[in-house]
Structure 1
């Protein structure tokens, strides 16, 4: 492993013709010289330089070949150069197969470094799926790619939202169902699936630093179904799932109506909420704090945080990109880096 006293994090640039190079450069420039952590961009050095220029930054972009290279201090951005683009400067905001290959190569390099213990975590910039596919990759996105690279077949998404009234409190949001239609999501809300999702969420809370956690389960119907008047999912599936797990000693509360459960969580009543379908949790988190909401992939033996937005091709290279979510993802990785040994123990093969 390592004997580092501060976390070293690999920030993948994402698609080099999207806003990834800009927000990566801005984030690293902001924290260059910070003694408590060291961020290193992973991507083409030429893309990072172009991103820094587009963002109007007065910084030096330094190429490193070893993640153990000490930081140079304020005004210097370090980049582990994958050198896929070569002398090419593909047009901003246009799907490009070579740019897609560069995005994949950056993910591969950063993940390999994390698996080898050379870095404490990976912070991923936005990729373009069309460019990824044009490069020859068959992966649907980051999650599938990371699963293959780490040998993991089951991963979950954990949103992290920081409370404004109590910045030390983080609400974690998990998802019982993900990228399916609402109709299919309702069909998937079985007691067995609920219990599996609850157990996995509770395990993730412990792995990511919450001792003896409590998980709140969101209801799916208005007012929690009103005893079956507005739907039977609570009566038939969710309530029995929660009751059985409580009888087994697990700290599960709910189901709680979705119009209040996220607010209660942000107030600090519990550290985690199980959202029943994709938009239920996404809307709550992003309405509360769009730039501050970040995504963590749990189930991996490495730490991975991510921005939760796309490549924004329409503004790429124009100096309009907001680094807020990348900044939040980077700082979340700093916070979670001490728990990497727990991740390896819980999810390693």
Structure 2
């Protein structure tokens, strides 16, 4: 596996270019030599100027043209949406060819992406399509809490429909395999219930008994150390205080809210079960502060560090 990571700069009207340039500027010479940036050079140079940095970006940039670049900061643009797609597509092809070992993605704007004709619900769906994968799962990783999602960018009503025994079991398996890869010998996994109090024996719904419980039983029969369903109002606290290494969340907000409460600036978004590796910041494009040179790049640093662990072959638990 290549030890080079590839950073896609996301929506060029957002903070992605700035946090990418700032992270690159702070890297050691060795790390910088093992980094490629997939983006637009004039945009990145504009971000560099906004930050007051003098680093020559040319050697590190896979420069893809964007008409009119640099575009105005902080504006919704289909041109930017199309550019974000092209940056990712090029990085995926290079990852498939073994030129880079992991993709790190800066934030995209889903509305801009769709205005450009690229109809995806986000990075994970796009990467699944670009790689021809049958499935991909979103895992949010922080030091004390890790969460993998059965579903993400769908309505709550659709999320309940998607919480089938087969899908929950597949999510448990994917999370277990990823934790083993990053150094956990026997991951302790908890599965969150979908209804209040896991349905209270059918009083508040039967999905936990009929759909989620059987997935847990099946996973345990495969030797996975998994428990549940456990009421969502307690399971994340139990994991955060050390009882579990990973929580399977049934839908987007169920998993995102606790992670963003305890690790808003440090949590890393990891795509699991794809044929390529990808990590990401866990925040948006922040149009309101784009181009002002004040965006916090700590989350980008965390995503880069996780990516380097994945390509090193010695990830550990950090």
Maintained 8 Å contact 2:81/2:113: yes
CA offset at residue 283 of structure 1?
0.4
Q: Does 1:270 align with 2:221?
A: no
Q: Greater Rg, structure 1 or structure 2?
A: 1
CA contact (8 A) 2:137 2:150 kept: no
Output the TM-score relative to the length of structure 1: 0.81
Give the 5 Å matches for 1:97-108.
97-108=78-89
Q: Comparing both chains, which one has the higher relative contact order based on Cα–Cα distances under 8 Å and sequence gaps of 6 or more?
A: 2
Matches within 5 A, 1:112-191: 112-163=93-144, 171-191=145-165
Q: Distance in 2 between matches of 1:191 and 1:146?
A: 24
1:331 has 2:312 as partner: no
User: Could you tell me how far apart the structure 1 residues matched to 2:61 and 2:283 are?
Assistant: 22
Alignment of 1:39 with 2:20, yes or no, is: no
Task: State which of 54, 62, 71 in structure 1 corresponds to 2:57.
Answer: 62
- 1:30 and 2:26 aligned: yes
Q: Which runs of 5+ in 1 are unaligned?
A: 65-77, 164-170, 341-349
Could you list the structure 1 runs, at least 4 aligned residues long, displaced by more than 4 angstroms after superposition. 34-37
| 2:220/2:226 contact within 8 Å kept | yes
Counterpart contact for 2:43–2:71, Cα < 8 Å: no
Shift of 1:296: 0.7
Q: Does 1:258 align with 2:232?
A: yes
RMSD over aligned CA atoms reads 2.5
**CA separation in 2, counterparts of 1:23 and 1:124?**
11
Q: Distance in 1 between matches of 2:97 and 2:72?
A: 35
Q: Deviations over 1:123-154 (max 9, x none)?
A: 01111233323434344432233223322231
Mapping of 1:85-100 within 5 angstroms?
85=67, 88-100=69-81
TM-score by length of 2: 0.88
Gaps of 5+ in 2: none
* Match of residue 204, structure 1, among 163, 178, 192: 178
